[in-house]
């Protein structure tokens, strides 16, 4: 019968001896992969996880006012809360004053509703003089805002441990006091502009890179070896130069008294006293980013074009196709995997580009990554920076997903 066990020559079942023989190889493979795996885990998975976590983490205030929030659980928010809530608030605030840690909640509460800053500061200053019992009255006496319903509702709204308010802020939205999502006032809607500008810059940089890279790659793929190597070095040269140096050299070239402006004036496109601004705006960002990201478009295109046999073009022509038809019907479709890879690469890289827009972009040329950096370094609103970073990540993944649906990720060719 066929289900009889097959034995190897020493009588051990074949499956067992096969596993034994392959175990060494498996262990070796695992050991070889292990450093990379750990590296990716430590450098990539943990930080991203931490970022995701921070963007929704709102536990700080929950921990600092535990009794208040517990007391507020029963409160329906229609009228001023009863005495126990104020009593719990007194206990929490006294403890915070004793440990001198109330500074943190001031920023958090003031973000929720402006006016909390002075309210808390004044209350904390006077809290040591409170007498036992009838805290509600004493609170309202210290500051009348303790008697206003909206401040207490705002305080209650900070109770949940997790909050996606930072994500709403990234889209210029916020909660009103009834927890409805509304747009922020028009003069404060800066993030939407930044998102649109970032997508816009990424799109046009991709288009420019494609237009410049396609002919270069074609030349690279068809030239004889000795010329194509030289050209390849020219393409790769920027890769070997520091990003900062390249960006700064663009600053030298693009400044108002720089050589490009000199040329424009000399040709007569602009008057000497009315030199166009090429830097500290979107133009500077476009020019510098296109140059810097060009190799990322050239390399995938080149590697795909290299595999297209020149005899295909010849076949197309010998069959009666004009050079243009042959290009359109035969060459171009065969380069689509490279176009896809190059465009995806350039688009994703430029969507998160930081240093070039920071240096040559100015205010009107700064992108979402510059705002992330600002919140990381200046405003220290890490949660918001994380939320923006996460949105960027989700955006990139969405683009990747759409690309996969449209073209198929299997069709991508990077080399």
3-state DSSP assignment of residue 74: coil
Cβ contacts of residue 413 below 8 Å, gap of 6+? 300, 303, 304, 337, 338, 341
> In the bound complex, what is the minimum distance in angstroms from residue 306's beta carbon to other proteins?
15
Provide the minimum distance between the beta carbon of 329 and other proteins in the complex, in angstroms, as a whole number: 7
| Interaction of residue 410 with other proteins, rule CB under 8 A | no
> Which CB, 321 or 362, lies closer to other proteins?
321
Q: Out of 312, 397, 402, 409, which residue is the one contacting other proteins (CB under 8 A)?
A: 312
Q: Which helix (H) or strand (E) holds 175?
A: strand 173-175
Q: Calculate the alpha carbon distances from 105 to 116, 155, 180, 258 in Å.
A: 9, 11, 23, 50
- Tell me which stretch binds other proteins (CB under 8 A): 295-303, 316-324, 364-372, 383-391: 316-324
- Quick one: which of 351, 80, 46, 301 has its CA closest to 196? 351
Q: How far is the CB of 216 from other proteins (least distance, A)?
A: 23
CA distance 395 to 401: 10
Told to check if 318 binds other proteins by CB under 8 A, we report: yes
Q: Whats the size of the chain, residue-wise? A: 415
- Name the minimum Å distance from CB 319 to other proteins: 4
Which span (66-74, 159-167, 232-240, 313-321) binds other proteins, by CB under 8 A? Answer: 313-321
Interface pick for other proteins out of 311, 363, 378, 405 (rule CB under 8 A): 311
- CB closer to other proteins, 3 vs 309: 309
Q: Residue 224 Cβ, how far from other proteins at the closest point, in Å?
A: 11
| Residues 320-359: x where in contact with other proteins by CB under 8 A, - otherwise, as a string | xxxx-xx--xx--xx-------------------------
CB of 340 to other proteins, least distance (A): 14
What is the rounded CA–CA span in Å between residue 413 and residue 304? 7
- Work out the end-to-end distance of the chain between its first and last CA atoms, rounded to an integer number of angstroms: 51
CB 266 to other proteins: min, Å? 42
Residues 201 and 354 sit within 8 Å (Cβ to Cβ):
no
Identify which of residues 35 and 310 has a Cβ nearer to other proteins in the complex.
Answer: 310
If you write DSSP's letter for every residue of 100-153 in order, what string do you get? T-THHHHHHHHHHSTTHHHHHHHHHHHGGGPPSS-HHHHHHHH-GGGG-HHHHH
**Token pair in block for residue 69:** 């929030």
Nearest Cα neighbor of 385 from 249, 154, 191, 186 is 191
144 touches other proteins by CB under 8 A: no
Secondary element (H or E) of residue 212: helix 191-222
Question: Which of 233-241, 263-271, 304-312, 357-365 is the region at the interface with other proteins (rule: CB under 8 A)?
Answer: 304-312
Q: Which residues sit at the interface with other proteins, rule CB under 8 A? A: 309, 311-312, 314-323, 325-326, 329-330, 333-334
């Amino acid at each position: 019968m066929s289900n009889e066990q097959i034995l190897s020559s020493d009588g051990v079942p074949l499956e067992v001896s096969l596993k034994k023989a392959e175990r060494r190889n498996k262990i070796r493979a695992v050991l070889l992969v292990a450093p990379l795996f750990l590296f990716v885990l430590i450098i990539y998975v943990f930080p991203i996880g931490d970022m995701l976590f921070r963007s929704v983490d709102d536990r700080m205030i929950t921990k600092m006012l535990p009794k208040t929030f517990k007391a507020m659980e029963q409160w329906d928010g229609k009228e001023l809360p009863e005495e126990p809530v104020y009593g719990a608030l007194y206990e929490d605030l006294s403890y915070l004053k004793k440990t001198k840690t109330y500074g943190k909640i001031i920023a958090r509460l003031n973000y929720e509703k402006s006016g909390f800053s002075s309210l808390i500061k004044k209350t904390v200053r006077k809290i040591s003089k409170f007498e036992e019992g009838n805290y509600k009255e004493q609170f309202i006496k210290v500051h009348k805002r303790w008697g206003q319903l909206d401040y207490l509702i705002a305080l209650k709204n900070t109770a949940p441990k997790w909050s996606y308010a930072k994500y709403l802020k990234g889209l210029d939205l916020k909660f009103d006091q009834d927890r409805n999502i509304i747009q922020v006032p028009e003069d404060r809607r800066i993030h939407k502009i930044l998102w649109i500008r970032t997508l816009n810059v990424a799109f046009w940089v991709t288009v420019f890179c494609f237009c410049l890279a396609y002919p270069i790659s074609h030349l690279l793929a068809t030239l004889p070896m000795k010329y194509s190597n030289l050209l390849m070095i020219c393409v790769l040269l920027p890769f070997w130069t520091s990003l900062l140096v390249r960006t700064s050299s663009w600053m030298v070239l693009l400044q108002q008294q720089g050589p490009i402006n000199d040329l424009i004036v000399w040709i007569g496109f602009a008057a000497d006293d009315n030199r166009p601004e090429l830097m500290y705006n979107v133009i500077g960002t476009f020019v510098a980013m296109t140059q810097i990201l060009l190799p990322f478009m050239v390399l995938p295109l080149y590697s795909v074009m290299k595999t297209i046999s020149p005899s295909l073009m010849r076949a197309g022509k010998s069959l009666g196709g004009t050079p243009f038809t042959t290009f359109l019907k035969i060459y171009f479709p065969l380069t689509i995997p490279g176009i896809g890879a190059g465009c995806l690469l350039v688009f994703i890289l430029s969507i998160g580009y930081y240093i070039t827009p920071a240096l040559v972009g100015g205010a009107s040329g700064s992108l979402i990554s510059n705002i992330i950096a600002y919140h990381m370094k200046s405003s220290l609103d890490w949660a918001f920076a994380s939320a923006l970073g996460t949105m960027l990540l989700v955006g990139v993944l969405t683009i990747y997903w759409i690309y996969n649906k449209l073209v198929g990720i299997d069709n991508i060719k990077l080399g």
